[in-house]
Amino acid sequence: MVKKFFERFYVALILIFLYAPIAILIILSFNGSKSRAKWGGFTLKWYRELFKNESIMNALYTTLIIAVLSALIATIIGTAAAIAINSMKKTPRTIMIAITNIPMLNADIVTGISLMLLFVALRYTLGFSSVLISHITFNIPYVILSVLPKLKQLNPHTYEAALDLGASPAYAFFKVILPDIFPGVLTGFFLSFTMSLDDFVITHFTKGPEIHTLSTKIYTEVRKGIKPEIYALSTLMFITVLLLLIIINRKNAEKKAPVSRV
């Protein structure tokens, strides 16, 4: 009993540590005062102002487009690569995995700088597309590492059976393999989306002066003070994701319930 209490207490402490800054940011979004250090009464002003603030809405738009596109493209390239890696012999497979690990283990600052130097060397203008390419690059490994374990669990005979029964390889892939590995594909997509959304360092080096994502916009405001509308926006984004996760979790619980009864 005592042990259980300590365990719960410990988990609670860590969760407070992880979520305290988030609580602060949510509170700041309702702060009537423009200053971070003073409480100026409750207000919804920043939520109204947010939608009128063109530069923030532009940054949000850029951030979301890059996150969706980079996650989507990374998911397609990554899933195909995972299937290929899974069917490889040991040596080429080890090489592929080692290279896949590079962007995950390498420092963001080195990845960002090396991509920027490449774009500059090729005289490729830094902007939206260079950020997109960079995000796809660091997202693909997350997809591969999410899909590979699912592929390993796959029963190879169902695919062969489909072929024996006259299915074309493509048809067999979409009807037999894809449904089985889909949870991994989805995890890869969401991880990529999250990583892209939260990235600052790589975007900072590859974006050029023309565009801003939310991260780079926030960074320019660190010294002169963050606009309260940003707090309002991130509160809205956070609450949206939280609600989505609660709904997904409920759905999963419903799906699981009948099975456990049997």
Partner 1 sequence: MNTENVSNAKTQKLTSHKNGDGIVGIKSAKWLSLPYAVWMIGFIIIPLIVIVYYGLTTVDNRFTLDNISAISSPINLKALLMALEQSLISTIICLLLAYPLAMILSKSRMRSSSFIVMIIILPMWMNFLLRTIAWQNLLERSGIINTVLKFFGLPPMNIINTPKAIILGMVYNFLPFMVLPIYNVLIKIDKDIIDAARDLGANSVQTFLKIILPLSLPGVISGITMVFVPALTTFVISNILGGSKIVLIGNVIEQQFRMGNWHVGSGLSLVLMIFILISMAILSKYDKEGEGSGLW
For the segment 54-113, give every residue that binds partner 1 (CB under 8 A): 77-78, 80-81, 83-90, 93-94, 96-111, 113
Total binding residues for partner 1 by CB under 8 A?
102
Does 39 engage in binding with partner 1 (CB under 8 A)? no
Residue 51 or 101 with smaller CB distance to partner 1: 101
Find out whether 37 and 247 touch, Cβ atoms under 8 Å: no
Q: Which two tokens stand for residue 124?
A: 């490729």
CA distance 66 to 196: 7
Cα dihedral 21, 26, 29, 33 sign? negative
Residue 65 or 241 with smaller CB distance to partner 1: 241
Residue 40 or 169 with smaller CB distance to partner 1: 169
Residue 54 or 253 with smaller CB distance to partner 1: 253
Alpha-carbon 113 to chain mean position: 21
Beta strands in 85-141 (DSSP E): none
Residue 7 or 48 with smaller CB distance to partner 1: 7
Q: How far is the CB of 61 from partner 1 (least distance, A)?
A: 16
Q: How far is the CB of 99 from partner 1 (least distance, A)?
A: 5
Q: How far is CA 57 from CA 52, 62, 64, 75, 211, in A?
A: 8, 9, 10, 27, 12
Residue 48 or 164 with smaller CB distance to partner 1: 164
Which H or E element spans position 109? Answer: helix 108-121
Distance in angstroms between the alpha carbons of the first and the last residue of the chain: 32
Q: How far is the CB of 96 from partner 1 (least distance, A)?
A: 7
Residue 49 or 190 with smaller CB distance to partner 1: 190
The angle, 0 to 180 degrees and rounded to 10, between the axes of the packed helices 228-261 and 54-86 is 40
Site string for partner 1, 130-169 (x = CB under 8 A): ---xx-xx--xxx-xxx-xx-xxxxxxx-xx--x-----x
Q: How far is CA 156 from CA 3, 89, 165, 237, in A?
A: 45, 16, 15, 41
Q: How far is the CB of 136 from partner 1 (least distance, A)?
A: 8
Does 185 engage in binding with partner 1 (CB under 8 A)? no
Footprint of partner 1 on 5-34 (CB under 8 A): 7, 10-11, 14-15, 17-22, 24-25, 28
Footprint of partner 1 on 225-254 (CB under 8 A): 226, 230-231, 234, 237-238, 241-242, 245, 249, 252
CA distance 65 to 227: 23
Does 255 engage in binding with partner 1 (CB under 8 A)? no
Q: Which two tokens stand for residue 250?
A: 């409920």
